[in-house]
Amino acid sequence: MRERELRQVKSQLKAQNAKMQQQNISWRRRMEEKEEQVKEVLVQKDAEMQNIVSQLLLFEAELRREQSRIEDLLSEKDAQIASQQKEIERLRRSVDAKTDNNSAVTSSDSAFSSLDISDSKDRPNGTRDVRIYEDALSSDSQHAVQKLKDGLVKIRAIQDVTNVKSLELCHDSEKKRVSYRAPQKMKDLKAKRINTHKVHHRPVMSEMTAQAIL
């Protein structure tokens, strides 16, 4: 009985061991398969990463080439801008010089034109002032001549009145003397009459002289 039980137990144990071994083998196979899958994935990922890295390196190289090209273009543009700025500065200086020359010419022309205008404006005023002065002088001279004529007329009238009175007095005195003196004094009376006649004509001569002077 015991041997039978022992054999049964041994057979059970062997069956369990075989089963466990099979399970272990199956688990190992699965593990190996998983490991192979992981390796394949890792290899694939490594290949992908290598591809990505190579692409990144190519892109970096392209970026560097593009950067150098852009830097070259920028330096070229800077050189062109500098040359254009120099040309613009040169043109600006030439334009400023021409503008200064034109402004100087324009100012001289405007000065001459202003002088001409001022001369043309001043000439009528000067002519008008001269005419006014001449008119004033002529009016003053005419007024002075008129005053002189009036004075001469007054002097002539006074002299005429004086001569008339002197003649009347002389005639009266002569009549008185003739009544009391002898006839031999007639010569003196004639001489006095001649003198009075000269005195009577003297104002007329003075008036003629004044008119000749005027």
Q: In this predicted model, what pLDDT tens digit does every residue of 100-134 receive, in sequence order?
A: 777 666 665 555 555 554 544 444 444 555 455 55
Nearest to 162 by CA among 196, 206, 192: 196
Helix axes 186-213, 2-180, angle to 10 degrees: 170
Instruction: Write down the pTM of the prediction.
Output: 0.33
Q: Which residues contact 142 (CB under 8 A, 6 or more apart)?
A: none
d(CA 162, CA 164): 5
Give tens-digit pLDDT for 136-162. Answer: 556 655 666 676 667 666 766 666 666
Instruction: Give the Cα-Cα-Cα angle 59, 62, 68 (nearest 5 degrees).
Output: 140
